[in-house]
Structure 1
């Protein structure tokens, strides 16, 4: 029986939240089917995570998606719902929180956006990334979805008209309708907020993976803790993120000897490329190098100092959104070809768009989180064409510069 439903707006976020429960032994399942029938789910599933992939759509549509899921969940008898949001506050935060409130029929919703383990905190209602207000951080310069405000209230109010109450210093929640935004700077703050809210207060709540660990303890959803399993030793890094954090990680890995191939604009933007004879030769070479050298990076970013993709975009009259969608879809199709042609490796996938597109092109609608290698970096498994594959997911903006080196050390 489902004890908790988590609604996440992107795939990597769904996994780094779901793994907080899987790591405690809860049977956790991540699904991408928005019409998933809550009545048909296996009885042993404790935590169900639904990926709405609603970060990039219109706020009105995002509201509708979350509203519909929440309402169906209530009718199915699910008693606890957590609306997972991005720890950098990207996406349709306000619209989706209101969607949960209206779908569940509630007037008050606690929202805890901080993730102290990743140096993402909320102080006096302002969200900070590594000590910098989020709108002034790298997320304020995101080419696809820049954060324009650092005030959580402004972010919410810019999407939906709903009262916003800032709860400072762990102050007990007042009897006041609206979205209650809790300040938090440490793990202890998260635990204190959990104690304040208690079981009744977190029946319906929202936040990122940071508060999910506290939520797991409060709900006491446990089982036999996962002992870990040996991952395929070859590491194939599918870099679909343009975040500067990930780019620095790729640069560091290359300097330490990781072979790296940058996809050309034609390879990552033209569907016809996979039908050409040259594509077969390229893919055969990538497979050979990945097998021989044990570590391999396939990257959608241009080489340092080059602007090939922007020139292609301008020459073909593409929008930024065209780029985002086409790159994720074409990259996923290339990864499918690699798997179909015999890639045997642990695939490290960066960026939620890339992961979602890959699952769609493979026809995979369920993913099982296993354990967390480091905050926001999750080992998972899925079944494809009679074989079990391991995948590591990572959001583009997460991790230190040497993260890829550490992951390689963990699995070799």
Structure 2
């Protein structure tokens, strides 16, 4: 039996790629322990997705985490390794691809970073987002992890001395193979499939890319079974927004204009853990629960209102770094959502941003998830059990989706005045 390991650098990335296999019926699990013991994987497990949480590590630390994961997986019978990278090429791409090669003792790895379904393509070695070179897109303005180059070779070379071989034709050539990271151009799903077929199963034993090529691997490796059925979803949508990406900001603006309740957390509410134990927090939580129950469409948002710099000012006064903000805000939002669940929140949850989702899972003591299906482009349905109750949660990367995504998701589960069916 094929045993397939995918290593992602954040939680939403793990889910949006893992669901490509789960939706075909492959037995798939997503785990959040970077030190996972691969000998403990169930015998009938086909796909294991490891959220290695390396996005914000140093390149050296990320290399070590990925190296150990690949080494452990190969020793325990995993036959295919896929290094899932961010579709905007954020994070430690060069260091992690090199770690895969080194741990496997190999000299070649196929890397297809394109996600054509969301207009993220690679053309002549340049990665584009919506027709714009990635470094000139919203991802070049990311406050935590800006992408500063658009050339895939340059991005890899910033962290690795491993040779990069660029295939501008988007397919393996007939010339003698050269060792290194093999970067393939791709602009359509058809390109990804054609390249995957040309590589063959042996050429796919070590590969890398995002959810785009993951879906191709699910087909080429015939990892499938009985597709899951979409479960009943509570017809109320509660959005926990931990993303500062401009794409998500537009989605929230559009949703608020359509009638979503929208609460911006104050700097104290999202940065001070002591606030969680105050009467003010209890009163705020009770008010949010009331609004969420009445409106059926509710957003709890870590971003300041448009044009305001409250959080930056608060952080500057207290000497907090950007990393302090990232860690504190995601952790606090996770604890707030757990408190709302304890208070009786009955809703389908939507988490934006991998840090937010991981913080929530840690807050409720969940370390493993089984993705179910895509509800929309980049919006993955999964579930978890907390305090004896099952909850369904939709995960979404901050940079994914059209402006009306939240509205479409709300309609698909029947939240609000309009109702329409959606299927996996």
Match of 1:64 in 2: 64
For residue 358 of structure 1, report the CA deviation from its aligned partner: 1.1
**Structural mapping, 1:98-177, within 5 Å:** 98-172=98-172, 174-177=176-179
Which residue, out of 201, 207, 210, partners 2:209? 207
Measure the CA separation in 2 of the matches of 1:27 and 1:340: 31
TM-score (norm 2): 0.96
Match of 1:288 in 2: 290
Question: How many aligned residue pairs are there?
Answer: 412
Match of 1:264 in 2: 266
Measure the CA separation in 2 of the matches of 1:171 and 1:211: 14
Measure the CA separation in 1 of the matches of 2:107 and 2:342: 50
Q: Would the aligned equivalents of 1:2 and 1:45 in 2 still touch at CA under 8 Å? A: no
For residue 2 of structure 1, report the CA deviation from its aligned partner: 6.2
User: Deviation per CA, 1:139-196, whole angstroms, max 9, x where unpaired?
Assistant: 0000000000000000000011110010112331551110010000011101111111
SS in 2 for 1:231: coil
Match of 1:340 in 2: 342
After TM superposition, what 4+ stretches of structure 1 lie above 6 angstroms from structure 2?
A: none
For residue 388 of structure 1, report the CA deviation from its aligned partner: 1.1
Identify if the C-alpha distance between structure 1 residues 292 and 148 changes in structure 2 by more than 3 Å, giving closer, same or farther.
same
Measure the CA separation in 1 of the matches of 2:103 and 2:339: 41
For residue 334 of structure 1, report the CA deviation from its aligned partner: 0.8
Identify if the C-alpha distance between structure 1 residues 104 and 180 changes in structure 2 by more than 3 Å, giving closer, same or farther.
same
SS in 1 for 2:370: strand
Q: Would the aligned equivalents of 2:80 and 2:204 in 1 still touch at CA under 8 Å? A: yes
Match of 1:379 in 2: 381
For residue 39 of structure 1, report the CA deviation from its aligned partner: 2.0
Q: Would the aligned equivalents of 1:67 and 1:100 in 2 still touch at CA under 8 Å? A: yes
User: Deviation per CA, 1:281-311, whole angstroms, max 9, x where unpaired?
Assistant: 1001111111111110000001112111111
Q: Which deviates further from its counterpart, 243-252 or 167-176? A: 167-176
Which residue, out of 351, 354, 364, partners 2:356? 354
Could you say what the CA RMSD is over the residues aligned between the two structures, in angstroms? 1.0
Measure the CA separation in 1 of the matches of 2:213 and 2:348: 29
For residue 320 of structure 1, report the CA deviation from its aligned partner: 1.0
For residue 60 of structure 1, report the CA deviation from its aligned partner: 0.1
For residue 44 of structure 1, report the CA deviation from its aligned partner: 2.5
Match of 1:40 in 2: 40
Measure the CA separation in 2 of the matches of 1:281 and 1:44: 48
Match of 1:23 in 2: 23
User: Deviation per CA, 1:306-331, whole angstroms, max 9, x where unpaired?
Assistant: 11111111111111111111111111
Measure the CA separation in 2 of the matches of 1:144 and 1:90: 10
For residue 84 of structure 1, report the CA deviation from its aligned partner: 0.2
**Structural mapping, 1:72-83, within 5 Å:** 72-83=72-83
Q: Which deviates further from its counterpart, 57-66 or 367-376? A: 367-376
Measure the CA separation in 1 of the matches of 2:407 and 2:44: 37
Match of 2:51 in 1: 51
SS in 2 for 1:102: helix
Match of 2:223 in 1: 221
For residue 336 of structure 1, report the CA deviation from its aligned partner: 1.1
Measure the CA separation in 2 of the matches of 1:96 and 1:360: 25
Structure 2 unmatched runs, 5+: 415-424
